[in-house]
Amino acid sequence: MVVRFLKQMSAGERPLIYLNNAATSWPKPPGVMEAIAQSLSLPVFGSGRTTGTQGEDYITRARESLSALLGADTPENLVFTHNATDSLNILISGFLAGIKGECHVLTTALDHNSVLRPLYEYDQQHRICLDIIPFEGCSIRPEAAEAAIRPDTRLMVMTHGSNVLGSVQDIRAIGNILHEHGIYFIVDGAQTAGHIPVGLRDLPVDAFIFTGHKGLLGVPGTGGFFLRDPEAIAPVRFGGTGTDSFSLLHPRRMPERFEIGTHNYPGLAALAAGVEFIRETGMGSIMEKAERQTAFLIRELKEESNITIYNEHPDLPIIAFNIGGLQNDDVGFMLARGFNIIARTGLHCAPLVHRAIDGGEGCVRLSLSWNTTDEECRIAADAIRRIARNADSTVGQA
């Protein structure tokens, strides 16, 4: 037998069924692809950076569309960054830059490494004292958040929706408690923006993070945050903005306070188109379809007694499971290679969730999008059930 050459994963003969939308959504609406092509068909139009006036102002368009979708009244307080992790780093570092000495910070066991790692780094440096609030069921109880507050607690950073369990957290109740104690509240909406209504107008949240390439249907390399009071966060990056160029100090007005260098124009064109697609489709329709398809998949998987589903009632189209007797990684391989179904396996960058639910072994995650079809759900359910039915009796026998 001869190894002919190394090969990348290809789609193969069967149609590709993509159920990894909580990582990056795919496929994108046609309008998103067209917007990228359109944005590159003319020179970049960037105010203050060209004498040209041709082309669309994609940045303003994306800022205004997304502000409207998230229910934010002040589009200039919506800042674009590279992604959610980038946003979290800017916000956490910028908040702590304004704090003298060590302070107490809270986060949760549901959170992603994009939250945990920056906070653990600051904890190691004795800039903060970090406490992790455990989850019960699939949620953080507001009472647990309240009980964790200390006199020196200054900041809480937490996820809006778990990327493993698909549970949406009660950030209104938690935010109200935190604000009663004067604690700054940063919410990571990477998994919720584009999937559920957010309503920033009256949410007790100080900063809300989004990413462009998941539920908002844009492309990787776009993200950002909404900031209620820009003065609460010190800028930690400085450079060219195309404005106030004579000043050697970085402008402090929004959004230049946090946006440095040339924007990702094709990415923001895609983001604007993705958001416009969501607004045209309607959040109600998106949620109804997601709920129906998620419920179908869970109902099907529950038919097999050796499948463990970690949240049978997720708020988001995310299904986390394991099959008894099989490693999650092997199930992912079988789905991909045997059925051309793309899921995600392992720890999903949320180690504390897995420590609690599966002993840190990880699980298989299916995540749907608006573009997932009922037929794809049926095929995926059949494939998983077939693997489960064949699991216990045969493993270990060659």
Partner 1 sequence: MKEFLLDSPVTDGFFAYLRNFGKVESLPGVGEGFYKFEKPDWFSIKGFSRDTTVEVRFKKEVMDLTVDFVYLIFSTYRGEGEEIDLSVLKRREEAIGERVRKRLYGA
Nearest to 265 by CA among 24, 36, 66: 36
How big is the site for partner 1, counted in residues (CB under 8 A)? 25
Minimal distance in Å, beta carbon 383 to partner 1? 9
Minimal distance in Å, beta carbon 391 to partner 1? 7
Neighbours of 223 (CB within 10 A): 28
- What tokens does 217 get? 């249907």
Q: At what angle do helices 58-70 and 265-281 cross, to 10 degrees?
A: 40
Options 173-181, 207-215, 232-240, 333-341: segment touching partner 1 (CB under 8 A): 333-341
> Rounded to whole angstroms, how far apart are CA atoms 301 and 210?
31
Nearest to 312 by CA among 301, 328, 323: 301
Residues 6+ apart with CB under 8 A from 338: 383
Neighbours of 185 (CB within 10 A): 24
Residue 397 as a binder of partner 1 (CB under 8 A): the answer is: yes
Residues 6+ apart with CB under 8 A from 393: none
What does the DSSP 8-state code read for residue 169?
A: P
The correct pick among 134, 302, 333, 355 for binding partner 1 (CB under 8 A) is 333
Minimal distance in Å, beta carbon 208 to partner 1? 36
Q: In which residue are the tokens 């959170």 written?
A: 111
Residue 6 as a binder of partner 1 (CB under 8 A): the answer is: yes
Dihedral in degrees, nearest 10, Cα atoms 379, 351, 216, 175 = 130
The correct pick among 173, 330, 346, 351 for binding partner 1 (CB under 8 A) is 330
Residues 6+ apart with CB under 8 A from 333: none
The correct pick among 337, 360, 375, 382 for binding partner 1 (CB under 8 A) is 337
Pick 179 or 389: Cβ nearer partner 1: 389
> Rounded to whole angstroms, how far apart are CA atoms 383 and 192?
28
Residue 339 as a binder of partner 1 (CB under 8 A): the answer is: yes
Minimal distance in Å, beta carbon 324 to partner 1? 13
Phi, psi of 372 (to 5 degrees): -70, 135
Residue 2 as a binder of partner 1 (CB under 8 A): the answer is: yes
The correct pick among 53, 54, 305, 394 for binding partner 1 (CB under 8 A) is 394
Options 55-63, 89-97, 281-289, 336-344: segment touching partner 1 (CB under 8 A): 336-344
> Rounded to whole angstroms, how far apart are CA atoms 186 and 204?
10
Pick 172 or 386: Cβ nearer partner 1: 386
Pick 10 or 54: Cβ nearer partner 1: 10
The correct pick among 7, 13, 246, 249 for binding partner 1 (CB under 8 A) is 7
Residue 15 as a binder of partner 1 (CB under 8 A): the answer is: no
Q: Per-residue contact track with partner 1, 352 to 391, x per CB under 8 A? A: ----------------------------------xx-xxx
| Three-state secondary-structure class, residue 117 | helix
Minimal distance in Å, beta carbon 77 to partner 1? 43
Residue 246 as a binder of partner 1 (CB under 8 A): the answer is: no
Residue 9 as a binder of partner 1 (CB under 8 A): the answer is: yes
Minimal distance in Å, beta carbon 18 to partner 1? 19
User: Contact 24/235 with Cβ under 8 angstroms?
Assistant: no
Minimal distance in Å, beta carbon 344 to partner 1? 14
Dihedral in degrees, nearest 10, Cα atoms 114, 115, 120, 121 = 60
> Rounded to whole angstroms, how far apart are CA atoms 216 and 278?
7
Minimal distance in Å, beta carbon 121 to partner 1? 24
Neighbours of 12 (CB within 10 A): 11
> Rounded to whole angstroms, how far apart are CA atoms 322 and 345?
10
Pick 41 or 397: Cβ nearer partner 1: 397
Residue 396 as a binder of partner 1 (CB under 8 A): the answer is: yes
Pick 150 or 337: Cβ nearer partner 1: 337
The correct pick among 30, 43, 98, 338 for binding partner 1 (CB under 8 A) is 338
Q: Which residues bind partner 1 (CB under 8 A)?
A: 1-9, 330, 333-334, 337-339, 386-387, 389-391, 394-398
